[in-house]
Amino acid sequence: MTTTKTAVASPDRESRCRMYSRRGNPCANPALDSDPNAVQICIRHAAEVLELIRERQANLATDRGVL
């Protein structure tokens, strides 16, 4: 078994989005937050997540008859 050690990112290095395409290609956009403890996604993928959350909330409200 081969292990690979990766270098620790330097503080001035821009962090990248952690999302991948269906083809397995990494997203090349910069992450919204460079904090290593934060979710490392770009603005495009963050917008997709927010849209998904809104859709799910609307579906739940409709199912409950709240709307």
Please report, for the chain, the start and end positions of each structural domain, with discontinuous segments joined by +.
15-67
Res 66: pLDDT: 62
Q: How far apart are the first and last CA of the chain?
A: 56
Res 63: pLDDT: 82
Tell me, yes or no, if the pTM score tops 0.95. no
Res 41: pLDDT: 95
What residues have CB less than 8 Å from 19, skipping those under 6 apart? Answer: 26, 27, 41, 42, 45
Burial 42-54, CB ≥16 within 10 A → b, else e: beebbeeeeeeee
Residue 18 in contact with residue 12, Cβ under 8 Å? no
